[in-house]
Amino acid sequence: MVVKILRTAGLISFLAGCAATPPTPQELASANYGPAPKNYKASVITYMSGILKDPDSARYGFYGEPVKWYAGRDRKFGWATCAAINAKNSFGGYVGARQYFFLIREEVVVYHNNTEGRSILYDNDIIAECNKLHRR
């Protein structure tokens, strides 16, 4: 019963994350993305150094140059890129590459999301977003 409740809660939170409506064509045309980041890799590495347990062990695989994009329920506009990141955990072992989505504005990461195994639907959504982002 507890497992069923947790699965339902996970699906509800996944669907709630998708509930934000995409911007209209007019909103996209008038959006202020800010200037393109000059050193997006350094911005991401600096940001992740405050999150990862062992940032010095991190191995980054960036997918491509940032592109104009939006993210989050409040539709933050900026420059998006994705990266596969593998770093060590508290036990000193690598956890395996996880896919991360980053939105950068004024050389600072203002939004990120990643695959953490919360649910296959949630993880697949992030993977699809990154694939769509870098196929443009």
10-57 pLDDT tens trace: 333 333 344 467 888 998 889 999 999 999 999 999 999 999 999 999
Q: What pLDDT is attached to residue 2?
A: 37
- Domain containing 48 equals 2-134
Size (the chain), residues: 136
Neighbour-count burial of 123, counting CB atoms closer than 10 A to its CB (0-12 exposed, 13-18 middle, 19+ buried): middle
Positive or negative, the Cα torsion across 79, 74, 48, 131?
Answer: negative
Q: Which residue has the higher pLDDT, 132 or 80?
A: 80
Residue type, 87: A
Q: What pLDDT is attached to residue 118?
A: 66
CB contact at 8 A, 105 and 59: no
**What's the structural domain count of the chain?**
1
Cα dihedral 47→48→50→52 (10° resolution): 170
Taking the CB of residue 34, how many other CB atoms lie within 10 A of it? 16
Q: What's the chain's average pLDDT?
A: 82
Task: Please tell me whether the overall predicted TM-score, pTM, comes out greater than 0.75 for this model.
Answer: yes
- The residue among 135, 118, 36, 33 whose CA lies nearest residue 82 is 135
